[in-house]
Structure 1
Amino acid sequence: MRKLNSITLLMACVLGFCSCAENSATEKTSEEMSTNGSTKKIAGAPWVKQFEDTFDVGSNLSQWTKEQRADYNSWYCDYASSVPTTQWRDGRQCLEIKTTKLSTYKYQSGFITSNYQYKPENNTEYMLSANIKLIAMDGGTYKSFKDTYGAWPAFWSVQGNGWPTKGEIDIMEGYSFAPNASRFTSNIFYGTTVGNNSLGNSAERNYPASFNIDGNNGWHLYESFWKMQNNVVTVTIKVDNVTVATYTNSSVSNLNFNNFGTHAIIFNVNVGSKDSNFIDPNKLNLFSTVMMWVDDVTVYKRPI
């Protein structure tokens, strides 16, 4: 979630009503258990579920910490602990993170961090999955995420203490730049000194050109596979079963996955940036709101 510039390098991170019948989960082999319909699945052996939240409506989100603070990467976004809620959306029970414009240059949004943390031991693999929809509204009319400017939603994992010395894995970062095409990426951050990312943006990888945020009624499956086999660490990012990037220590100079710590899971929607050359604050346009809906999130583990 870090967009690296001269300011943020010095900071440490602590961290529509359109009906859509939910597809039933489809079992596949142990190597590929994801499904385009939903992450609600029972992974076949040897996968064993470690964590799950189905965001049932009425849930108090007790498995999460809801942030109350300003965003570290933007002058224009404050996080309120009241923003993340559970709602019925598209016939699904979802986590909803909703932006609200407070003034010309100030927006309120939400940021939640899982209390659960994980990291692969040697000869194990973890599969983190979430089914997410990004949508905007203009009054009572739904708009595409691509029609907005300045929204910055993310799904990622991180050890916030001593960032980035224990690493960060960005599974999905979305940037809306209407009228130009929006951009979606994965990324890795790491450094040996607190507050100093040694990778720059050299690990950033764009999503495939075929990725369409409005496809499948806006719902997409985002996954991170994090494994250690014979002390060699590999991280693979997928969207809708298509590989976005595969990372090892040799993929990027100065990267050392073996020094990564246990990671928590994060969902948030940022607005704007501290770098006006990246996101122009004078162009911010989220209509009435931009929302992130998360159908469910799961973590599975298996021996390898």
Structure 2
Amino acid sequence: MKKLNLFALTVSCALSLGFASCADDASPMAQDQSKNTNASTVTKNSTSKVADAPWVKQFEETFDVGSNLSQWTKEQRADYNSWYCDYYSSVPTTQWRDGRQCLEIKTTKLSTYKYQSGFITSNYQYKPENNTEYMLSANIKLIAMDGGTYKSFTETYGAWPAFWSVQGNAWPTKGEIDIMEGYSFAPNASRFTSNLFYGTSSGTNLIGNSAERNYPANFDINGNGGWHLYESFWKMKDNVVTVTIKVDNVTVATYTNGSANNLNLNNFGPHSIILNMNVGSKDSNFIDPNKINLFSTAMMWVDDVTVYKRPI
């Protein structure tokens, strides 16, 4: 999640994203399995990454309904990048959605220029040792609701969901890896990117947005029922560090120290995992607060989060 107040934001041209019907999501009753079905009889339809040897699982969160999210810290604070979003620890919950047990982070409009949302940080941290690779995966769906009607994320304006990893202390001296940042700009096309941040002193990002990479133009947020597999592969081979971002098993970006001036991936980590839904920005030229429209709510649903490790 970019610290926009610390550097100049370069707004790339919006991607041309295909729009698919949300007909499958038309009924909230079809989404919330707990309303009509005994939860114990519903099979968890997980698309979590299950890796064969030599991958060894290091961390897993299945967000089972009733979980107290003990593997995470639920933030209670204002967003660093927006005047308009406050995070409440009560917002991240576990729910039945699309027949899955998942994390739900939802926005609520509190007043004309203030929104409530959620932000969770894993207590687990990781960083590759030499000649090892880590694979971080999450299955995420972005969606909105207008009363009892489901709406596409692409119909909203001003939502800013993110899936990323970072060392928060003395940011960005231990780096930041943004696997997915989504920006909704209806009626224009929404935009999805990956990015890196790094600096040698606290509070100063040295690479601006030079590491930002747009998702492919054919990426359809409404495809596959809205669920997508987002992954970060972080490895060190003979002391050379590479970060690869994939979406639905397609490579979006590959980063090395040569990807941006002043980038030093060898100084990254250890990182925690973060999932959040921001609203608005401190830069009104990027997200106009007068245009924000999230209907009744915009939501991030997360099915599973896993981390695997292997020798290389």
TM-score (norm 2): 0.88
2:256 to 239, 248, 251: 248
Deviations 1:34-88 (A, max 9, x none): xxx71152x1110000000000000000000000000000000000000000000
Equivalent position amino acid for 2:284 in 1: S
Contact 1:249 1:257 (C-alpha < 8 Å) held by counterparts: yes
2:6 pairs with 1:8: yes
2:239 pairs with 1:209: no
2: CA distance, partners of 1:246 / 1:81: 34
Q: Which residue in 1 is equivalent to 2:48?
A: 39
Q: Which residue in 2 is equivalent to 1:185?
A: 193
Contact 1:183 1:206 (C-alpha < 8 Å) held by counterparts: yes
2:288 pairs with 1:280: yes
2: CA distance, partners of 1:238 / 1:157: 15
Q: Which residue in 1 is equivalent to 2:152?
A: 144
Contact 2:48 2:305 (C-alpha < 8 Å) held by counterparts: yes
Contact 2:157 2:293 (C-alpha < 8 Å) held by counterparts: yes
Equivalent position amino acid for 2:139 in 1: N
> Aligned residue pairs: how many?
284
**Equivalent position SS for 1:217:** helix
Please show how residues 284-299 of structure 1 align to structure 2 within 5 Å: 284-299=292-307
Please show how residues 255-266 of structure 1 align to structure 2 within 5 Å: 255-266=263-274
Q: Which residue in 2 is equivalent to 1:125?
A: 133
1: CA distance, partners of 2:188 / 2:3: 19
2: CA distance, partners of 1:118 / 1:64: 14
**Equivalent position SS for 1:146:** helix
Ranges in structure 1 where 5+ consecutive residues have no aligned partner = 11-15, 25-36
**Equivalent position SS for 1:268:** strand
Equivalent position amino acid for 1:142 in 2: Y
Report the CA distance between 1:111 and its aligned residue: 0.2
Report the CA distance between 1:8 and its aligned residue: 3.2
**Equivalent position SS for 2:224:** helix
2:100 pairs with 1:104: no
Ranges in structure 2 where 5+ consecutive residues have no aligned partner = 9-24, 34-41
2: CA distance, partners of 1:70 / 1:9: 19
TM-score (norm 1): 0.91
Equivalent position amino acid for 1:210 in 2: N
Contact 1:8 1:73 (C-alpha < 8 Å) held by counterparts: no
Give 4+ residue runs of structure 1 displaced > 6 Å after superposition: 20-24
1:58 to 55, 66, 69: 66
Report the CA distance between 1:139 and its aligned residue: 0.3
1: CA distance, partners of 2:257 / 2:49: 32
Deviations 1:62-121 (A, max 9, x none): 000000000000000000000000000000000000000000000000000000000000
1: CA distance, partners of 2:188 / 2:244: 28
Cα–Cα, structure 1 residues 127 and 40, in superposed 2: closer, same or farther, change >3 Å?
A: closer
1: CA distance, partners of 2:111 / 2:294: 12
Over the aligned positions, Cα root-mean-square deviation in angstroms equals: 1.6
**Equivalent position SS for 2:154:** helix
